[in-house]
Structure 1
Amino acid sequence: MQLSIRHETSYSYTAPQAYSIQQLHLTPRAEAHQHVLNWHLSTVGQIHGYTDAYGNLSHMLTINAPHSGLAIIAQGLVETTTPPGGRIPNGDTLSPLIYTVPTRLTAATPGILELAAAALPDGKAQTRQLMQLAEHIFGAVTYITGSTEVSTTAGSALAQGSGVCQDHAHIFLACCHARGIPARYVSGYIDPGNTSHAASHAWVDAWVEDGGYSGWISIDVTHARLMDDSYCRLAIGRDYDAAAPVRGMRRGGGGETMSVQVRIVPQ
């Protein structure tokens, strides 16, 4: 499948800003099941490309002049295929064990520990067990837009019983980490089809031991299904903080309003 993607993030400020810096994970990863046919980032200021610690194609944007707004547009065409069984080739130079370390967003709470112990064995898991965990989270945490914030932890979202895709992903990661199973956060896009879920999306990769296969599989916890060709992967990391599409800070007074518009059209 070919996905035509346009992602615009806009900031407006009530007072001019003296300085802004933004870390961008807005360029699709180069992986066996997806190929970037064309891609372009458009914004003001100085932009510097680099590869981060997780192998993500990243950019650092700096604006060192007074500004009252900022628009960042990422757009292009990506060709995707469905990885059989959701299996993602392990081309990483990092050990999967780095993805067993909890973060602030994926720290275990009593509720997380209880769910993890009930759903997963200790140290390794098969695809069917991980899918059962995804199905449980899907049923226990209702998708409600705006019910959480980017700073909401896995334990808080589980206790609340509602959240969005990043909360589903964080709960899944927290359960895996509690059992010593490597799992990592994925940010990207999904062709929403006729669903109401946002085209900007988050899901997970988890390490499985399935007979003759040991490696990553990619699971969309929000839809309790394996990743297919309707997904485009931007970045991986330990949690949202490591893989967020846009994350930064500014220097200046006043308030800030942010809006995000994502359009995905399958070709």
Structure 2
Amino acid sequence: MKLSIRHETIYRYAASQAYSIQQLHVTPRLEAQQNVLTWNLQAPGAVNAYTDAYGNRSHMLTLNEPHRLVAIVAEGIVHTTLLDGGRLHNSEPLSPLVFTVPTRLTMPTGQISEYASASLAEVREGRASTGAMLALAERIRASIAYVTGATSVDTTAHDALLQGAGVCQDHAHLFLACCHAMGVPARYVSGYIDPGSSGHAASHAWVDAWVHDAGFEGWISIDVTHARLMTDAYCRLAIGRDYVSAAPVRGSRRGAGEETMAVNVQIVPV
């Protein structure tokens, strides 16, 4: 499938800012199942490209002159292919054990540990099957209703579970917390999805989990929000331990006044 993608992020400030810095993960990863045909990033100030510790194609944007608006536009065309059973066949330098370490957002509290034990009763010594991972996704989808605006980027997996409402990043964080509780390597994925008629946002978050199936040991990619394996309707931007390390745009500023942010993402199959 070919996906035409346009991702626009605009920050507006009530007062002039002296300095802004933004970490950008808005360039698709170099992976076997997706080929970037064209890609362009437009942003003010100095933009320096680098590859982060997780292999994400990243940029650091710095703006050192007075400004009241920062507009970041990333767009291009990506060719994606359908994975067999959601299995990723990428060569990666990091051990999967890197992704067994909880973060503040994915800490397995006592309640999450009980939830994980009940959901993943068959898992022993951190060895999970694709079937078990999909069953966990189904239960999380039933436990946390998709409600736009119900949570924020700072909401933990524990708080989302107690609230029973959230969005894709909350589904992903709870999935990761459950996997951490059972010793299963799992990581956060940020990217895009052709939303079709689902009504969900085109900017999306899901997970990769390390599984042990008959004839396969490795990463599979699961959309927890839809309780299904990743298809060719997805484009992967970044992986990390949670939202913080894989967010498309994240940064800080020096200056007073209110800040507003508007994000518009358009995905069109071509």
Q: Structure 1 length normalisation: TM-score? A: 0.99
In structure 1, C-alpha distance between the alignment counterparts of 2:88 and 2:31, rounded to whole Å: 9
Which stretch shows the higher mean deviation, 83-92 or 170-179? Answer: 83-92
Aligned to 1:125: 128
In structure 1, C-alpha distance between the alignment counterparts of 2:119 and 2:11, rounded to whole Å: 42
- 1:101-128 CA-partner distances (Å, limit 9, x unpaired): 0000000112210111012213110000
Is residue 49 of structure 1 aligned with residue 52 of structure 2?
no
Whether contact under 8 Å (2:32, 2:90) holds in the other structure is no
Which stretch shows the higher mean deviation, 115-124 or 92-101? Answer: 115-124
In structure 2, C-alpha distance between the alignment counterparts of 1:144 and 1:124, rounded to whole Å: 32
Aligned to 1:243: 246
Is the partner of 1:75 in helix, strand or coil?
A: strand
In structure 2, C-alpha distance between the alignment counterparts of 1:91 and 1:114, rounded to whole Å: 34
Deviation of 1:4 after TM superposition, in Å, equals 0.1
Overall identity of the aligned pairs, in %: 66
In structure 1, C-alpha distance between the alignment counterparts of 2:148 and 2:244, rounded to whole Å: 19
Whether contact under 8 Å (2:41, 2:74) holds in the other structure is yes
* Residue type at the aligned position of 1:186: V
Aligned to 1:201: 204
Aligned to 1:160: 163
Is residue 134 of structure 1 aligned with residue 137 of structure 2?
yes
In structure 1, C-alpha distance between the alignment counterparts of 2:177 and 2:262, rounded to whole Å: 29
Equivalent runs, 1:146-225 vs 2, <5 Å: 146-225=149-228
Aligned to 1:32: 32
Is the partner of 2:85 in helix, strand or coil?
A: helix
Equivalent runs, 1:80-99 vs 2, <5 Å: 80-99=80-99
In structure 2, C-alpha distance between the alignment counterparts of 1:232 and 1:111, rounded to whole Å: 33
Aligned to 2:59: 59
In structure 1, C-alpha distance between the alignment counterparts of 2:198 and 2:66, rounded to whole Å: 41
Deviation of 1:69 after TM superposition, in Å, equals 0.6
Aligned to 2:16: 16
In structure 2, C-alpha distance between the alignment counterparts of 1:101 and 1:3, rounded to whole Å: 34
Which stretch shows the higher mean deviation, 88-97 or 181-190? Answer: 88-97
Q: Which runs of 5+ in 1 are unaligned?
A: none
Is residue 69 of structure 1 aligned with residue 55 of structure 2?
no
Deviation of 1:90 after TM superposition, in Å, equals 3.9
Whether contact under 8 Å (1:189, 1:232) holds in the other structure is yes
Aligned to 2:78: 78
Whether contact under 8 Å (2:2, 2:80) holds in the other structure is yes
- 1:199-235 CA-partner distances (Å, limit 9, x unpaired): 0000000000001100000000000000000000000
* Residue type at the aligned position of 2:44: V
The 1:90/1:96 distance shift into structure 2, 3 A limit, reads: farther
In structure 2, C-alpha distance between the alignment counterparts of 1:16 and 1:159, rounded to whole Å: 40
Deviation of 1:54 after TM superposition, in Å, equals 0.1
Aligned to 1:103: 103
Aligned to 2:231: 228
Q: Structure 2 length normalisation: TM-score? A: 0.98
In structure 2, C-alpha distance between the alignment counterparts of 1:98 and 1:54, rounded to whole Å: 10
Deviation of 1:27 after TM superposition, in Å, equals 0.2
Deviation of 1:195 after TM superposition, in Å, equals 1.1
* Residue type at the aligned position of 2:238: A
Whether contact under 8 Å (1:90, 1:215) holds in the other structure is no
After TM superposition, what 4+ stretches of structure 1 lie above 6 angstroms from structure 2? none
Is the partner of 1:175 in helix, strand or coil?
A: helix
